[in-house]
Structure 1
């Protein structure tokens, strides 16, 4: 039944304009009134052709709108598969993420994020691909696919980053061959104008945080009512702009203690401006969000998103992605409990889980 709808719809899309055109030609060729030169006859003829033209324009408009809606549904489904909803908990961390698009009708962007529990610790990626649309979505797919495999295979964070670099270069070479099939050979510098900012984090069982940063903004650390950058070291260049250096020592960023949060974001969250050209005060907004009381990741996201929409009058000029991680171990009954470690992770009394599998069902918060 569904297979018959598409040929029928295609036949209607071709048949209706043909019918309108045939009506206009028939009127002009056979109607005696159309052959007269009087003012009244000309008015009637003009009215007929006006109605026919209006019908054709309306039909074309409806067809284009239908195709645009279908393309947006396909793009939205593709992006929802790539940026799958994050579980509300990953090991001892509460997790929440959100996106804000610069175009209300746009469902395809270049932001990427993922949080995965592995035997090496909880590993996190936040990135921003240059550009928008389907090319950016293809780059997101290549990087997320590589990350989801590499985090389990690579014992060190630098190995994960090198896997991402190879995946990006391979994807851009393949895309160049598809876009320029007549060239017959891969480009000398396939990533000369393409780059991705990438932030990799690794949080171990004791809450120790290590990071590798390629051109991405450092996350904010929320410690009580204090808000500050997780690190202040100069990041590496964006991934793809230059080859990675031979040595890639991870930056040690201290510990994420119980009740503390990390807020990862793409640069649009701080670069977006209001009508008077003022940048959005993200750090100040986070300080107000945590002032005087502990908040959940979902509350932090809601506070920041509301402030962003007020700042931009509901029309942000850049895509924005936000990811909040909070060291918030689950509450467990005191009876029979074996305690918890210094980072607040549940002790070994909890049921074992497969590396990379969240401790709760993967539903969006």
Structure 2
């Protein structure tokens, strides 16, 4: 169903993911392979039985025997070469027995059986080539997953003063890599984060993603002003991107208590959740995406939002808001955020992600990223401290 890749928390888990494939994905692949093999066997048995029945009770001679080739031909799509050859030669043996019962001339019997043998050998070769392609694809997926883990590093559940939850799903499930990006880092100037969407998909987008994230992580530590962070990304992209390439992004920072800064460069507006109200943070002065400023000549502006205890900020990519259901209706993100917002960002993001997949019927057609920050209240902090202290510490 889902091609979702959940970026789990923790350094150890990150390296575990880089070393081996996702067990759930591997199990799903194994189940599909077994299911396909079972179907091939069942269809082969039914076809063989039907042909045998028609030859025995009918008077059509050898005309039904070519249907025995259905078995090895179907098995080639799901079974290993050895199984394909076994099914094929069983079909040939049965064909020889049935052909002898028809009393047809030996020449015609030989032609029919030769055709069955040829189909069996061709099906075995097709199965062998399919297996090689699957192994190559598995290697590509492993490399892509490693690259994705290196670029989109897992985000801990707590960063600075914030509770954080992240969920990312790549539409290109076969490669497990997409064009969305995010990063969240603590700096001397407060927590800073970026969520963006690179034009394009696959390997060309990986280079741009690596460039943006590398420049952001470096500039976030060096530049006191958030606009200067954005300016450094813009200069780097202007030197390295093609004329038709760009990146939409929202860069945010929390320089001091109660103050959230947001710079929007052609990206979907973040959603601010405050006192159960959900508000889209539309840019006061819209700016072009990163990499296109030279064509427009308009600089982005800095928005300052009040951000109190209990407030939440959701950043996302257009793969979320542009997801459509069977009736072509868009996913109503703001409405669903209001429904699912709670004191645990991980629960909120998980509920949104599950509803998003349900909305599109289980398969996304574009990459989708959700990054949710929440400023805990004093009561949340006290409760967390009590849980960490454990029972009996006050004795």
Using the size of structure 1 for normalisation, the TM-score is: 0.71
Secondary structure of the 1:204 match is strand
Q: Does 1:277 align with 2:346?
A: no
Q: Give the direction of change, closer, same or farther, for the CA distance of 1:316–1:171 in structure 2 (3 Å limit).
A: same
8 A contact 1:216–1:235 mirrored in 2: no
Residue 360 of structure 2 corresponds to: 312
1:198 aligns to 2:267 (yes or no) = no
What corresponds to 2:381 in structure 1? Answer: 331
Q: Which secondary structure does the structure 1 equivalent of 2:294 belong to?
A: coil
Instruction: Please say if residues 252 and 260 of structure 2, whose CA atoms lie closer than 8 Å, have aligned partners that are also in contact.
Output: yes
Among residues 141, 154, 163, which one is paired with 1:85 in the alignment? Answer: 154
- Out of 104, 107, 132, the residue aligned to residue 63 of structure 1 is 132
Match of 2:369 in 1: 321
**Greater relative contact order structure (CA < 8 Å, 6+ sep):** 1
CA RMSD between the two structures: 2.5
* Bigger Rg, which one: 2
Counterpart residue number, 1:42: 111
Instruction: Name which of 238, 257, 261 aligns with 2:289.
Output: 238
- What SS is found at the alignment partner of 1:76? helix
Instruction: Tell me the equivalent position of 1:3.
Output: none
Contact 2:197-2:249 at 8 Å conserved across structures: yes
1:95 and 2:164 correspond: yes
Q: C-alpha separation between the residues in 1 aligned to 2:133 and 2:383?
A: 59
CA contact (8 A) 1:157 1:250 kept: no
Structure 1 residue 158 corresponds to structure 2 residue 227: yes
Question: In the TM superposition, what is the alpha-carbon distance from 1:51 to its structure 2 partner?
Answer: 2.1
**Deviation readout 1:308-361 (Å, 9 max, x if unpaired):** 1221111222211000000126735999xxxxxxxxxxxxxxxxxxxxxxxxxx
Q: State the 1:48 CA deviation.
A: 2.7
8 Å contact 2:264–2:300 — kept in the other structure? no
Shift of 1:282: 0.6
Change (3 A) 1:130 1:214: same
- Matched residues in 1 for 2:295 and 2:229: separation? 12
8 Å contact from structure 1 (residues 169, 240) kept in 2: yes
CA distance in 1, matches of 2:159, 2:368: 23
**Contact persistence 2:249–2:266 (CA under 8 A):** yes
For the residue of structure 1 that corresponds to 2:371, the secondary structure is strand
Shift of the 231–51 alpha-carbon distance from structure 1 to 2, 3 Å rule, reads: closer
- The residue that corresponds to 2:262 in the other structure is 211
Residues 167 and 350 of structure 2 are in contact (CA less than 8 Å); yes or no, is this contact kept in structure 1? no
Q: Distance in 1 between matches of 2:225 and 2:264?
A: 14
Task: Tell me which residue corresponds to 2:28.
Answer: none
Q: Which runs of 5+ in 1 are unaligned?
A: 1-15, 21-36, 173-189, 336-365
Partner residue, 1:349 = none
- Partner residue in 1 for 2:344: 296
Give the structure 2 partner of residue 265 of structure 1: 316
Question: Cα deviations across residues 153-202 of structure 1 (Å, max 9, x unaligned)?
Answer: 11211221121123223333xxxxxxxxxxxxxxxxx3x21111011111
Distance in 1 (CA, whole Å) between partners of 2:285 and 2:336 is: 24
Deviations 1:127-150 (A, max 9, x none): 000111000111101111111111
- How far has the Cα of 1:260 moved from its partner? 0.7
Count how many residue pairs are aligned between Structure 1 and Structure 2: 281
Alpha-carbon shift at residue 232 of structure 1 (Å): 4.4
Q: Distance in 1 between matches of 2:171 and 2:296?
A: 34
**Cα deviation, residue 121, structure 1:** 1.3
Equivalent in the alignment of 2:302: 251
In the TM superposition, what whole-angstrom CA distance separates every residue of 1:90-121 from its partner, at most 9, and x where no partner exists? 11001111112334434110101111111111
The CA distance in 2 between the partners of 1:324 and 1:133, in whole Å, is 25
Which residue of structure 1 lines up, in the alignment, with residue 193 of structure 2?
Answer: 124
> What TM-score results when the alignment is normalised by the length of structure 2?
0.66
Distance in 1, matches of 2:117 and 2:193, equals: 64
1:134 corresponds in structure 2 to 203
**Are 2:276 and 1:225 aligned?**
yes
Q: Deviations over 1:259-297 (max 9, x none)?
A: 11000001121111111111111111011113xxx4311
DSSP-derived class of the 2:256 partner: coil
CA contact (8 A) 1:112 1:126 kept: yes
Give 1:246 deviation, angstroms. 7.5
Higher helix share: 2
